[in-house]
Amino acid sequence: MKQILLVTDGCSNVGMSPVVAAAHAKSEGIAVNVVGILDYGDVGELGASEIEEIARAGGGLSRLVNMRQLSQTVQMMTRKTAVQTIQLAVQKELKQVLGNGSIEALPPEKRSEVVRVIDELGETSKLQVALLIDASASMKPKLRAVEEAIHDLMLSLQARQGQSEIAVFHFPSSKHGEDCKLDLDWTDNLKGISSIFTKFPMSGTTPTGPAMMQVIDFYRQGDYGKKSRNDETDGMMSDYVV
């Protein structure tokens, strides 16, 4: 299971549309969740609708929250989306086996069986979450809450039985030719890491779309050499259903 979690507080303003980028992610088997942080006011109508649309294109969830709710929301969305990913894979299999794709349409006894499988896979499948943090000037006072949410997410992921990893990026990057900067490569442990964002650039631009494309590319490079994507969950499912 692969996810991108975008944390932002406003609109993208440079480069490719983040909605298109999110659709790219989805086609690569990566679900995109979006959290919009409201501080003293709101992200604006434009920001709110963009956030919702990115998540829709990326097959994930979106929420507008204030800083206090950030940790709980991030943790919850990640979990829900993981279950949803499994659910979709299961539904695909069900369609083949039963000629019926909807879990809700099953009678309660059958539903119970299917949900048991979903829960089991949700707990044991490998999960990767790439966090993509908007570090434009307006986000600066919120970065501490973001760091807290990342630590909190790691704690929840560590409690899973399956392997879980996170990576952290922020954008924009001060380096020329780079749309986002990798702060933390795949890890399953944040011990000893007190500050993830050591130095962040001050730049007015918010290249959300290009940054997301770079994260997709990062996923792709990580997969390079492994035989094929997506087959992990599919294969496991057949063991259960057949």
- Cβ of residue 174: shortest distance to other proteins, in angstroms? 27
Identity of the residue, 122 or 210, whose beta carbon is nearer to other proteins in the bound complex: 122
- Cβ of residue 34: shortest distance to other proteins, in angstroms? 15
Strand order in the sheet with 62-66: 62-66, 30-38, 2-8, 127-134, 164-171, 181-187
Identity of the residue, 39 or 223, whose beta carbon is nearer to other proteins in the bound complex: 39
Identity of the residue, 32 or 127, whose beta carbon is nearer to other proteins in the bound complex: 127
Amino acid at position 23, single letter? A
- Cβ of residue 45: shortest distance to other proteins, in angstroms? 19
- Cβ of residue 114: shortest distance to other proteins, in angstroms? 8
- Cβ of residue 203: shortest distance to other proteins, in angstroms? 27
| Closest of 44, 38, 235 to residue 145, by C-alpha | 38
Which positions ≥6 away from 161 have C-beta within 8 Å? 123, 124
- Cβ of residue 197: shortest distance to other proteins, in angstroms? 15
Interacting residues with other proteins (CB under 8 A): 63, 69, 71-73, 76, 83, 87, 103-104, 107-108, 111-112, 115-116, 118-119, 123, 144, 148, 151-152, 155-156, 158-161, 194
Phi then psi for 82, rounded to 5 degrees? -60, -45
Which positions ≥6 away from 224 have C-beta within 8 Å? none
Identity of the residue, 108 or 192, whose beta carbon is nearer to other proteins in the bound complex: 108
Rounded CA-CA distance 100/193 in Å is 47
Identity of the residue, 28 or 148, whose beta carbon is nearer to other proteins in the bound complex: 148
Identity of the residue, 13 or 72, whose beta carbon is nearer to other proteins in the bound complex: 72
